[in-house]
A and B are shown apart, each in its own frame.
Chain A
Amino acid sequence: MNAPSPNLSTLHTHAPIANTGSLSLDECRKGAQVRIVDLQAQSLFGSQDERVTLRLKELGFLPGAQLKVIGFGLLGSDPLAVQVNGTKFALRRAEAAKIRVEVISGSH
């Protein structure tokens, strides 16, 4: 089992920003329509973090993209299902916590 190892040094993750208007995706409620502001580093992923950021972006989780929270899994409302660009994805809280969003409609 050899792990794939692309060089990801070209990617940058933003430092956390203190923006009162934004919250992280895992704080959103079901049905919320939000817009992505930024992707942040998440220490839980350790050395994987940059790759997770990259994959999220590749799947369309980019600043400016609109996103809808469509549902939650069984316990502790984890994982969440979201829809971005017409495609549905299942994310865990840890991934959702990387995504800073601003709410367009729906309570949080």
Chain B
Amino acid sequence: MPAPIRFALIGNPNCGKTSLFNRLTGARAKVANYPGVTVERRSGPIDLPHPAELLDLPGTYSLFVTSPDEQVARDLILGKIAGEAKPDVLVAVVDATNSRLGLRLVMELKTLNRPMVLALNQMDAARNRGITINTAGLARAIGIPVIETVAVNRQGTDELRKLLAEFAENHAKNPLPADTQTLSLGQLDELSRDDSIEELYQRIENIMLDNVVQPEHLPRWQERLDVVVMHPVIGLIALFTTLLIIFQAVFAWAEPVKDVITFGQDWLSEFVSLNMQEGVLKDFLIQGLIAGVGAVIVFLPQIIILFFFILVLEDTGYLTRAAFLLDRPMRGLGISGRSFIPLLSSFACAVPGIMSTRTISDPRERFITIMIAPLMTCSARLPVYALIIGAFIPEQTVWGIFNLQGLTLFALYFAGVASAALVALIMRRNQTREHYPLLLELPSYRWPMAYHLLMGLKERSWIFIRRVGTIILALSIVIWFLVTFPGAPADATRPAIEYSFAGQLGGWMQHFFAPLGFTWQMCIALIPAMGAREVAVSALATVYAVGGDNVDAALGSALGQSWSLPTALAYLAWFVYAPQCISTIAVVRRETNSAKSTTFFAIYLFALAYFAAWATYTIASWLV
């Protein structure tokens, strides 16, 4: 059995490589209409008669790289990544609505003298705009096969699949030696020395003149939309309004679905309790499994709503406009518009956010962005916030339109952002004076594709459910064990839970957290939250279900009875800052490649969390 042939998708940022990848492999990877989604190569098998593998590389404009993500793409093509064979065939992807820029990269890739095909992507959008491309002429002029594709529908990629199948068949019959020629960077320079940029562009100009007819202007609606969206004042107002609407929706829209889930959970609990005999197993099912997992799963609707909005904003191309608007204010903080997208992704999860900082060319800016990314409230904190807000903040209408709970949530998000700004400002002080350019492409607007939205949401929901089924389930079981054993002695005077492992552990931890007003139950919940923040909720559910007098009482009202308002607020403040999730610390270690930076990261966030919670508790106690 020969080794599978390796195809690599390469092209400009935002030319549709990832949607093409999804179509060809059937994998539902994330696609977005902004540069920098694929920062690491991703691979998947293509369904062809012969074994074949497809690589999706980060978008790049040139082999002369200016940021770490572009370097990944170049090094992989040149076979410079250790333990990673060069791809056998390059599949250059060119956005047909933006062909000049794409063809420039193709011509540069041509100098590598490797087997290559060109996928002219987004042909449907190009036709709608009145762009006509003579594919056969283009193929002749460049000297490689050219295929028209529409990555968003299946028919659009069939022809490309057929062509790749031919390559795979030839490869299976006659596999090339693993390393035919490896071009060094020096040789690459030699090659481009012969072709100055101007000459290369002249050749592209001639090719375009012969084969591409396109209207001089972008569609009028795009121009009009940009007048509003990119307006320095109206655009910013629109941006903040959009963000506020999202946070309102996360709370308001999810409520009916949450009720249904809670109802189902109560019913299940009831069912088990009526039909099982008393014992450890029953106790485990109700208090460990159903209470623990159910406490987290109930937040699925909110997470889906949040991701729905982020996916829509990504897909339309709006995000780079936001980066444009925010560049100037962000620069005052030592970061730039380029940091906006990694930071926004961090609202979903800091891990992909930190990974996408590779699109930032300035090393110092990238460092600051990595350090502040976890201050953007990730979706795993949402369950914790939602629980405490639901229990302590009354549902009131403020100023006629806003919901007090929604406003509180917004305030928590804002606290994270404001602190990030402050931290960046402090870190910026020892920044070098070297300037790096912004140079950001503003892609044309695209309608979000229902198919991709659904796939994106499905993927996100699945990730969440899988977390619930694995890490959250496991941690819930551990917590249940810790709160159940050992049982109370016969002459117990206090509730049984205080004699358990969890009770003892919480008791010790409480000495450290007492100045913040934390109860020992809250301290216990902090431990599993290291694995995944949302487990704090299921831990609390288990601890209170086991320890409380009224097992059936909803978690929220149980908390309402046993925490004071200052304590609850301090807990919220803690979660704004705490570097609690291990995955985030691991990704910081990998992306900074420095133990020192990682230690600094963990300690500074921990200190900030402790201080913020202490300050909140102290001030709130004084006010209440």
Max chain B CB contacts within 10 Å: which of A3, A6, A47, A94? A6
Which chain B residues (228-268) contact chain A, with CB distance < 8 Å? 230-233, 236
Partner of A46, one of B63, B320, B435, B591: B435
Question: Known contacts being A73-B325, A73-B327, A74-B328, is A86 close to B214, with CB within 8 Å?
Answer: yes
| B residues less than 8 Å from A71 (CB atoms) | 226-227, 230-232
**Any chain A CB within 8 A of the CB of B201?**
yes
Complex contact B442–A6 (CB within 8 A): no
Is A1 an interface residue when CB atoms closer than 8 A count as contact? yes
**C-alpha spacing A72/B230, complex, angstroms:** 8
Residues in A with CB closer than 8 Å to B68 are 1-2, 4
Digitize A41-74: 1 where CB-to-B-CB distance is under 8 Å, 0 elsewhere: 0001111100110111111101100000011111
Highest count of chain A CB atoms <10 Å: which of B100, B438, B443, B591: B438
- Tell me the bound Cα distance from A60 to B201 in angstroms: 8
With an 8 A cutoff between CB atoms, is B461 at the interface? no
B197 touches A62 (CB 8 A): yes
The residues of A that contact B450 with a CB separation of less than 8 Å are none
The tally of residues in A whose CB lies under 8 Å from a CB in B reads: 45
B561 on the A face (CB < 8 A)? no
A29 at interface, CB cutoff 8 A: no
Contact of B440 among A7, A56, A70, A90 (CB under 8 A): A90
| Residue A87 CB within 8 A of the other chain | yes
Q: Is the CB of B186 within 8 A of A7?
A: yes
Given contacts A81-B442, A90-B442, contact A57 B325 (CB under 8 A): no
Nearest Cβ on chain B to A29's Cβ, whole angstroms: 14
User: What would be 7 A-B contacts, judged by CB atoms less than 8 Å apart?
Assistant: A51-B64, A55-B62, A55-B439, A62-B198, A70-B230, A74-B329, A78-B328
Provide the residues of chain A in CB contact with B592, threshold 8 Å.
Answer: 1
| Complex Cα gap A95–B66 (Å) | 15
Contact status A47-B434, CB under 8 Å: yes
Interface residues of B (CB under 8 A from A): 61-68, 70-71, 74, 98, 100-101, 104, 185-186, 188-189, 192-193, 196-198, 201, 214, 216, 218, 226-227, 230-233, 236, 320, 323-325, 327-329, 337, 363, 366-367, 433-444, 591-593
From residue A10, how far is it (CB to closest CB) to chain B in Å? 5
With A4-B67, A55-B61, A79-B438 known as contacts, the answer to whether A90 contacts B198 (CB < 8 A) is no
B328 contacts A76, CB within 8 Å? yes
Name the interface residues of A74-108: CB closer than 8 Å to any CB of B. Answer: 74-76, 78-79, 81, 83, 85-92, 94-95
From known contacts A58-B62, A62-B197, A87-B101, infer whether A74 and B236 are also in contact, taking CB-CB under 8 Å: yes
- Which A residues touch B104, using CB under 8 A? 58, 60
Complex partner residue of A54 from B188, B197, B226, B593, CB under 8 angstroms: B197
Q: A51-B66, A60-B101, A74-B329 are in contact. Are A90 and B435 (CB under 8 A)?
A: no
CB distance from B286 to the nearest CB of A (A): 50
Report the Cα distance A92→B439, complex, angstroms: 7
In the complex, what residues of B have CB within 8 A of residue A75's CB?
232, 328-329
B20 smallest CB distance to A (angstroms): 20
Q: For A79, what are the chain B residues with a Cβ–Cβ distance below 8 Å?
A: 324, 327-328, 337, 438
Closest A-chain residue to B444, C-beta based?
A88
Does the CB pair A74–B435 fall under 8 Å? Answer: no
Give bound CA distance, A49 to B228, whole Å. 33
Given pairs A6-B185, A88-B441, A89-B442, 15 additional interface contacts (CB within 8 A): A10-B193, A44-B435, A45-B435, A48-B434, A55-B437, A56-B439, A59-B439, A59-B441, A60-B100, A71-B230, A73-B328, A85-B100, A86-B216, A88-B443, A90-B439
Docked-complex contact A70 and B226, CB < 8 angstroms = yes
Task: Give the residue among A8, A63, A70, A86 with the most B Cβ atoms within 10 A.
Answer: A86
A72–B433 Cα gap in the complex (Å)? 24
Give the residue of B189, B214, B442, B591 whose beta carbon is less than 8 angstroms from that of A10.
B189
Q: Report B-chain residues with C-beta under 8 Å of the C-beta of A76.
A: 328
Distance of A46 from chain B, by nearest CB (Å)? 5
CB distance B329 to A90 under 8 Å?
Answer: no
- Expressed in whole angstroms, the Cα–Cα distance for A77 and B192 within the complex equals 37
Q: Which of B98, B185, B189 contacts A86 (CB 8 A)?
A: B98
| Among A70, A89, A92: residue with most chain B CB under 10 A | A92
Which residues in A have their C-beta under 8 angstroms from that of B231? Answer: 71
Given known pairs A4-B67, A7-B185, A55-B66, the reply for A91 and B101 (CB within 8 Å) is: no
- 8 A Cβ contacts from A1-30 to B: 1-4, 6-8, 10
Verify A81–B230 contact, CB threshold 8 A: yes
Closest to B229 in A: A71
Residue among A59, A83, A87, A95 with max Cβ neighbours from chain B (10 Å): A87
Tell me whether A6 and B65 are in contact (CB under 8 A): yes
Q: Nearest-CB distance from B585 to chain A (Å)?
A: 17
B369–chain A nearest beta-carbon distance, Å: 12
A58 touches B64 (CB 8 A): yes
Min CB–CB distance A61 → chain B (angstroms): 9
- If A6-B189, A73-B324 touch, does A58 touch B61 (CB 8 Å cutoff)? yes
CA distance A58 to B70 in the complex (A): 14
Kindly report which residue of chain A lies nearest to residue B67, judged by CB atoms. Answer: A4
**Residues on B with beta carbons closer than 8 Å to the beta carbon of A47:** 434
